[in-house]
């Protein structure tokens, strides 16, 4: 990612697309031991990004079959067909890899022939079908990459609008890191980075309504009775902006978390960006490190400016509703390599 941005010095780049490729490839290496997208193939990068976002939009489109289940088989809006087509196109990225890996294991007759196993090997050991594995990767790779890239984009947008916070973060990173690149092992040295990350999650939770839940039994919440099997949506976006819980809730103030035990691990109900309990985001630890590492290197390695002499206050911060909370207008910034 950093090498690619060096080539783009002085040009406008879309932060969400740059970070999407980084996130997608990090996960692909964990699951499949290889990059799936090449930064230099801009057309391919754009195609994959658009496919994932199309899939996210389809899953949040109002479906008349949800209101009248008897109409489900008719697929009146064509949503099922479009989702299947989109999923098939995404699965083409790794379909051949799964097939080759399985055939290689069959040819050698040794399931332990690879010295280092990745997640694909684990799934093959579990005797899942190629179709099951491929569908699994749609959720693990596609959906997760979009939420992580969105969080970095929001963090960069807030820092551009708050130059004092940007300055403090950059000084912290420079003071502890003489090297060009920040590594995962050094993230613990940057408390202000962590504060900025938490404040970004508060204002812009990756999933504003979390993933839909279902009541497993009748329950009473204040004066409301929630019947068994009711679908439940938790508006963590509104909770994190409630003035009853937060001072100046609409302002970006990382310092609000200083000397506070508030965290994002589901222990404090006023701050639930990843959910809580048994259904909390399973990828939380990896997401935290992945996002912080990307943000730290973007700030440490480059000075950033807005295109067309735009002022920070003019930056559009409108949101686009979906499973993932995206900026309505993609953040476009101009990098300048820091010497």
Q: Is 45 annotated as a binding residue?
A: no
Three-class secondary structure of residue 295 per DSSP? helix
C-alpha distance across the termini of the chain, in Å: 18
> Looking at residue 300, which CATH number applies to its domain?
1.10.630.10
Number of Cβ within 10 Å of residue 32's Cβ equals: 20
Distance in angstroms (rounded) separating the CA atoms of residues 45 and 42: 5
Distance in angstroms (rounded) separating the CA atoms of residues 237 and 151: 14
What total of structural domains would you count in the chain?
1
3-34 pLDDT, tens digit each: 999 999 999 999 999 999 999 999 999 999 98
148-184 pLDDT, tens digit each: 999 999 999 999 999 999 999 999 999 877 678 899 9
> Which of 155-169, 234-248, 268-282 comes out lowest in average pLDDT?
268-282
Distance in angstroms (rounded) separating the CA atoms of residues 258 and 279: 28
Distance in angstroms (rounded) separating the CA atoms of residues 72 and 81: 12
b/e map 200-234, b = 16+ CB within 10 Å: bbbbbbbbbbbeeeeeeeeeeeeeeeeeeeeeeeb
Distance in angstroms (rounded) separating the CA atoms of residues 120 and 137: 9
Q: Percent of the chain having pLDDT more than 90?
A: 62
Q: Rounded to 5 degrees, what are φ and ψ at 320?
A: -115, 115
Three-class secondary structure of residue 320 per DSSP? strand
Which residue range(s) make up the domain with 331?
2-337
Residue with the two structure tokens 């899939």:
55
pTM: 0.91
């Amino acid at each position: 990612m950093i090498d690619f941005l060096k080539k783009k010095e002085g040009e406008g780049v879309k932060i969400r697309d740059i970070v999407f490729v980084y996130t997608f490839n990090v996960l692909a290496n964990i699951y499949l031991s290889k990059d799936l997208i090449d930064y230099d193939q801009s057309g391919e990068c754009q195609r994959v990004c658009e496919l994932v976002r199309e899939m996210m939009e389809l899953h949040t489109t109002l479906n008349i079959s949800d209101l009248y289940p008897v109409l489900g088989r008719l697929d009146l809006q064509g949503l099922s067909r479009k989702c299947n087509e989109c999923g098939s196109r995404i699965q083409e990225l790794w379909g051949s890899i799964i097939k080759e890996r399985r055939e290689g294991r069959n040819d050698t007759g040794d399931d332990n022939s690879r010295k280092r196993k990745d997640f694909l090997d684990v799934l093959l050991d579990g005797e899942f079908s190629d179709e099951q594995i491929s569908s699994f990767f749609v959720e693990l790779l596609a959906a997760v990459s979009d939420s992580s890239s969105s969080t970095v984009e929001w963090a960069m947008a807030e820092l551009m609008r708050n130059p004092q916070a940007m300055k403090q973060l950059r000084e912290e990173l420079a003071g502890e890191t003489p090297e060009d690149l920040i590594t995962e092992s050094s993230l613990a040295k940057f408390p202000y980075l962590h504060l900025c990350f938490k404040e970004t999650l508060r204002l812009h939770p990756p999933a504003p309504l979390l993933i839909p839940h279902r009541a497993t039994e009748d329950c009473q919440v204040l004066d409301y009775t929630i019947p068994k099997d009711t679908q439940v949506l938790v508006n963590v976006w509104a909770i994190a902006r409630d003035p009853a819980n937060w001072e100046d809730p609409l302002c970006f103030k990382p310092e609000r978390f200083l000397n506070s035990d508030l965290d994002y691990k589901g222990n404090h109900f006023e701050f639930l960006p990843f959910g809580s309990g048994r259904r909390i985001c399973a990828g939380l630890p990896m997401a935290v490190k992945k996002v912080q590492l990307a943000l730290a290197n973007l700030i440490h390695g480059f000075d950033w400016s807005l295109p067309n002499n735009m002022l920070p206050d003019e930056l559009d911060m409108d949101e686009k509703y979906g499973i993932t909370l995206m900026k309505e207008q993609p953040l476009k910034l101009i990098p300048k390599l820091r010497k």
